[in-house]
């Protein structure tokens, strides 16, 4: 018989680490009821494929070399509502967990905790479950326990200053620290300080994550959303 069975669960994997990608592919292909439809080592190629194709499940890393994995997750969730999405990553901080779930992920696993169990986790996800590494599940529960009581508004996120907003828009357009400093007539060290504050306020750790998160929050013009 050529190709996977008609009822086989199709899985797309976005992972830039070769050894991890190989482990994930082997785990999926070893399962009799699923197959790997495509694999990608960067976000741009994954987005291009998802524009015209779909799969039953997307397994996505967050630390991609060109775009934040969150961008791939959000795009897939918006374009393919029937595709189940699960994060498999090394990031275990609350900020990444919450933003992944908000972007559309239905599961969140840490790389060190998964291997042969990936097929079982995929089945759980497809059955309506929310598979999570135990330490991640505890973080989510703690988040809800500490959230404001019903009927009370959650505290608003810290707003960017006017200067930080200007710097953020330059960042979105791909300008370097030196170019932003020249455009604004300030020192490179001052630019670095502004960007550090932007990262803190948006709870991100990289330029691409800052641009993506700011775009999601409506802080920058969508036309400026461009990976450096």
The confidence score (pLDDT) of residue 49 equals: 96
Give me the pLDDT at residue 144, please: 63
User: Which residues are CB-contacts of 161 (< 8 A; sequence separation ≥ 6)?
Assistant: none
Which of 177, 160, 157 is closest to 220 using CA atoms? 160
- What pLDDT is attached to residue 227? 42
Q: Which residue has the tokens 């008609």?
A: 6
- Domains, in order of start, for the chain: 9-146 (3.40.50.2300), 162-224 (1.10.10.10)
Under 8 Å between Cβ of 172 and 223? no
Q: How far is CA 119 from CA 9, 52, 133, 207, 208, in A?
A: 10, 25, 14, 34, 31
Please report the pLDDT score of residue 145 as a whole number. Answer: 61
Q: Read off the pLDDT of residues 113-153 as tens digits, 9 standing for 90 and up.
A: 776 789 999 999 998 888 998 888 877 777 666 555 544 44
Tokens at residue 102, please? 């908000």
What's the confidence (pLDDT) of residue 29? 95
What pLDDT is recorded for position 228? 39
3-state secondary structure of 153: coil
Encoding tokens for residue 63?
């630390």
Q: What pLDDT does residue 150 have? A: 46
Contact 66, 43 (CB under 8 A): yes
Task: Give pLDDT, residue 38.
Answer: 97
Give pLDDT tens digits along the chain (228 positions): 466 666 799 999 999 999 999 999 999 999 999 999 999 999 999 999 999 999 999 999 999 998 889 889 999 998 999 999 999 999 888 888 888 888 889 999 998 877 678 999 999 999 888 899 888 887 777 766 655 554 444 444 456 788 888 888 888 888 888 889 999 999 988 898 888 888 887 777 777 777 777 776 667 655 444 443
pLDDT at residue 12, as a whole number: 98
Our CA dihedral for 16, 141, 85, 124, rounded to 10 degrees, sits at 110
Please give the pLDDT value at position 143: 67
pLDDT at residue 157, as a whole number: 47
And the tokens for 122? 């995929």
């Amino acid at each position: 018989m050529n190709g996977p069975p008609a009822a086989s669960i199709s899985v797309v994997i976005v992972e830039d680490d070769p050894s991890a990608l190989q482990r994930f592919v082997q785990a999926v292909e070893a399962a009799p009821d699923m197959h790997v439809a495509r694999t990608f080592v960067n976000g741009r190629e994954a987005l291009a494929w998802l524009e015209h194709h779909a799969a039953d499940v997307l397994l996505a890393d967050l630390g991609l070399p060109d775009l934040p994995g969150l961008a791939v997750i959000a795009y897939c969730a918006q374009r393919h509502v029937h595709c189940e999405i699960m994060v498999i990553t090394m990031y275990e901080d609350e900020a990444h967990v919450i933003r992944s779930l908000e972007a559309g992920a239905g599961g969140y696993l840490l790389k060190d905790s998964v291997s042969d169990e990936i097929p079982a986790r995929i089945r759980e996800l497809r059955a309506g479950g929310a598979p999570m590494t135990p330490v991640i599940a505890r973080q989510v529960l703690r988040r809800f326990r500490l959230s404001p009581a019903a009927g009370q508004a959650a505290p608003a996120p810290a707003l960017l200053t006017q200067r930080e907003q200007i710097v953020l828009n330059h960042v979105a357009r791909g300008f370097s620290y030196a170019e932003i400093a020249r455009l604004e007539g300030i020192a490179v060290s001052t630019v670095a300080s502004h960007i550090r504050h932007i990262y803190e306020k948006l709870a991100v750790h990289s330029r691409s994550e800052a641009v993506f998160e700011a775009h999601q929050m409506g802080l920058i013009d969508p036309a400026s959303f461009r990976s450096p």
